[in-house]
Amino acid sequence: MIAGMQRSGMRRWRAWLGRLALGLGVMATLLPARAQPQRAAADAGLRIAAVVEDRVVTVRDLDARLRLVLFTGDLPDRPEVRARLLPQVLRSYIDEQLMLQEAERRGIRVDEAEVDRAFAAVAAQNRMTPERLAALLRENGVPLGTLRDQLRARLAWQRFVERELRPRVVVTREQIELELARRRAATPAVRELRLAEILLPVYRPRQEAEVAAEARRLVETLRAGADFGALAAQVSAAPSAADGGEVGWVRLDDLAEPVRRAVAGLAPGEVSDPVRLPDGFRIFRVLEVRTASGRDPAEEVVELAQIVFPLPPDASERERARALRRAEAVRPRLVSCPAAETLAAELRTPASGRLGWMRIDRLPPAFAEVVRTLDPGRPSPPLAGPLGIHLLLVCRRGGEEGLRELVRLELERRQLERLAARYLRDLRRDAYIDIRI
């Protein structure tokens, strides 16, 4: 879910971008053939920052992307800050070019109407109108096309992953049973952390020292007050980038030894030193700490739906009262997941509809308390939440069947993320990439 807007800039776009998994970066200028980039850029009076296959990233493109990162990360636009961020921004830009080109090679196109809807969804998730979002970008020197092209690329990559890679995912009954046994055998009174991460990949051994230095500089920026979630969304190569870097609750004992050592002593809000893992350097931030509940995992699974009535962060009492009246008016109709989908289509409110199987302990605490006692088919009272006023509905309580379904979905997601990461690594390995700055 989205934290909303701060005075000095936009915070994470997590709720909507979380549904656009595995995307990165901003689309660069497009040219029709590899022979064209130098001449076309020169004719336009633009210097080339990089060439990726038959397309160029101009210095102007890269500057616009940096402005977006500075804005969303709530960072000052100073030369030393730009210098710290430039390597990660350029790397993610290049990765996105490769993703977009691969999607196009497979015949995947995203039209303007889809981008319009995505832009409106981002605005709504940040509790504002599309017009206000566009004005805010302009006020901070970010071309509107920078965000629109980013959304276009993420939509294209998501479609490619779903169409081309998901059919390769196979989860067996044995895998599900092993994961269920592992969860039930875990010690109840174990420490759990809610973590966020940023991955800076190391594609080739010779990059090791360079990426390590970049990671240390990024940690300095984060500890100086940069928005971790916003930077994760823009520069991280991990699938969690689409959710502002958040990986959710994890048991400390389940973490790899290098990660456990790095985060075990951190308090909420603190950022780890870079951790070298097989895919690159990861930086972690501890969001929350707790002791595991000890409940049977099957008791913590529900199929959930919601209807959201958006409110801006500075909503007046009149606006809040109006949203409450609207929620009360539709509440009697919220009796099932299909009914939630019908209402969501009718009301066209963001993040509304069927949410699927979820763990109750992953919900915001106030929501979890309500959901634990809510009878299936009976909507909650209107609740103040991160997007405005929420109505929650438990469609079904999970039990063993729901728990198995949730485990299957989680195992599928992990496999799909690994496949997509490997596919991108291979694209970069085989691509023609010429960095000129």
**What is the distance in angstroms between the CA of the first residue and the CA of the last residue of the chain?**
37
- Whole-angstrom distance, CA of residue 315 vs CA of residue 324: 12
Helices (H) and strands (E) in the chain, counts: 15, 13
Q: Do 101 and 9 belong together in one domain?
A: yes
pLDDT score, position 436:
86
Q: Do 27 and 158 belong together in one domain?
A: yes
Does 43 fall in a domain?
yes
Q: Do 288 and 305 belong together in one domain?
A: no
Looking up residue 238, the CATH number of its domain turns out to be 3.10.50.40
Q: Do 126 and 17 belong together in one domain?
A: yes
The tally of domains found in the chain comes to 3
What residue numbers bound the domain in which 18 lies? 5-167
Q: How far is Cα of residue 381 from the mean position of the Cα atoms in its chain? A: 29
Q: Do 254 and 302 belong together in one domain?
A: no
Does 360 fall in a domain?
yes
Q: Which of 274, 294, 314 lies at the terminal end of a domain, its last residue?
A: 294
Q: Do 216 and 314 belong together in one domain?
A: no
Q: Which of 294, 317, 337 lies at the terminal end of a domain, its last residue?
A: 294
- Whole-angstrom distance, CA of residue 1 vs CA of residue 57: 32
Q: Do 11 and 138 belong together in one domain?
A: yes
- Average pLDDT, 10 consecutive residues per value, the chain (437 residues): 34 35 27 40 64 90 92 88 89 91 94 90 80 92 91 92 95 92 71 92 88 93 92 89 85 89 94 94 94 69 92 87 94 93 89 88 86 92 90 89 88 92 91 87
Q: Of 196, 336, 321, 344, whose CA–CA distance to 270 is shortest?
A: 196
Does 408 fall in a domain?
no
Q: Give the tokens for residue 406.
A: 């949730």
Helix (H, G, I), strand (E, B) or coil at 174: helix
Q: Do 343 and 200 belong together in one domain?
A: no
DSSP code at position 55: E
Does 83 fall in a domain?
yes
Q: Which of 259, 294, 329 lies at the terminal end of a domain, its last residue?
A: 294
Does 242 fall in a domain?
yes
Looking up residue 66, the CATH number of its domain turns out to be 1.10.4030.10
Does 430 fall in a domain?
no
Q: Do 28 and 90 belong together in one domain?
A: yes
User: Which pTM value belongs to this model?
Assistant: 0.76
Does 279 fall in a domain?
yes
Q: Do 236 and 314 belong together in one domain?
A: no
Helix (H, G, I), strand (E, B) or coil at 308: strand
- Whole-angstrom distance, CA of residue 336 vs CA of residue 393: 7
pLDDT score, position 267:
94
Q: Of 280, 277, 255, 278, whose CA–CA distance to 266 is shortest?
A: 255
pLDDT score, position 187:
56
Helix (H, G, I), strand (E, B) or coil at 384: strand
What is the 3-class SS of 10-40, one letter each residue?
ECCCHHHHCCCCCCCCCCCCCCCCCCCHHHH
Task: Return the H-helix or E-strand segment holding 397.
Answer: strand 388-397
pLDDT score, position 148:
92
DSSP code at position 271: B
pLDDT score, position 35:
37
pLDDT score, position 16:
33
pLDDT score, position 188:
61
Contact 26, 150 (CB under 8 A): yes
Q: Of 226, 437, 178, 393, whose CA–CA distance to 304 is shortest?
A: 393
Q: For residue 299, what are the contacts with CB-CB under 8 A and spacing of at least 6? A: none
Q: Do 36 and 82 belong together in one domain?
A: yes
Does 349 fall in a domain?
yes
Q: Do 10 and 68 belong together in one domain?
A: yes
pLDDT score, position 284:
97
